[in-house]
Amino acid sequence: MGSEKIQASIIGSGNIGTDLMFKIMKNSQYLSMGAMIGIDPASDGLARAARLGVPISADGIDGLLALPHFQDIKIVFDATSAKSHLVHNEKLQPSGIKVIDLTPAAIGPYVVPSINLEQESDAPNINMVTCGGRATIPIVNAVAQVTDVYYAEIVASIASKSAGPGTRTNIDEFTETTSAAIVNVGKARAGKAIIILNPASPPIMMRDTVFTYSATVEPEKIEASMHSMVQKSAAMCRAIA
């Protein structure tokens, strides 16, 4: 690859997509912004992207496909909604672009980077589960590495102000996809996910709580496994930044 960065596009100019754009532009060693795509010409996210010199389109997925440099874009992050992602993925797959799904659509394999990124990295569509899932499923998996987890439950509490229209549209899919990934990736026998939109002002910081019902094992083994998983997660974040 040399020093040339990989061009990436973001579909979804809301809170999640805009935040990701800033992270790529400020921190990424490997990615550059090829385009920011939305459906609202008055979107604040599109306006910010334009001010930063990022190519934009308010014509959705068709606008992305029509960009003159579309063939140079190798990765597309979809930060819209689960239902919209079904359409976006169908239109992107023929191009051979790597699609990273930030919605709970779960078309591709569930991926929680600190657990199974290497195993699933060749998939044409990677489902990143949910924000709450990525934060909590490594902990469930860490417990499952040392004892049987009969049931795992996660509660994700986020500021209502941070939840845009796409996030609110995805509430049902959030619980279903995260619950499935707790079993599929976390290795619990059964799982449940709950999301809380807290309207407190000033807005709260995101907080995730994990509960497991598991077979008896020395607490020290669970603590050591969780500590190892936290270190692995932190190291992976530094490596892919």
Q: What is the DSSP string of 45-65?
A: HHHHHHHTT--EESSHHHHHH
SS3 for 108-131 is CCECCHHHHHHHHCCCCEEECCCH
Report the alpha-carbon distance of residue 70 to residue 35 in Å, rounded.
9
- Catalytic, 131? Answer yes
Place of tokens 């779960």: 106
- As given in the structure block, the two tokens for residue 237 are 């974040």
Name the nearest CA neighbour of 57 among 73, 89, 77, 35: 35
Residues linked to residue 7 through DSSP beta bridges, in sequence order: 32, 73
Written as one letter, the residue type at 69 is H
Question: Backbone phi, then psi, for 213, in 5-degree steps?
Answer: -110, 110
Neighbours of 202 (CB within 10 A): 7
Q: At what angle do helices 171-184 and 131-144 cross, to 10 degrees?
A: 20
Question: Backbone phi, then psi, for 165, in 5-degree steps?
Answer: -55, -40
Report the alpha-carbon distance of residue 116 to residue 64 in Å, rounded.
30
Q: Which of 131, 137, 144, 158 is catalytic?
A: 131
Longest CA pairwise span in the chain (Å) = 60
Known catalytic residues are: 131
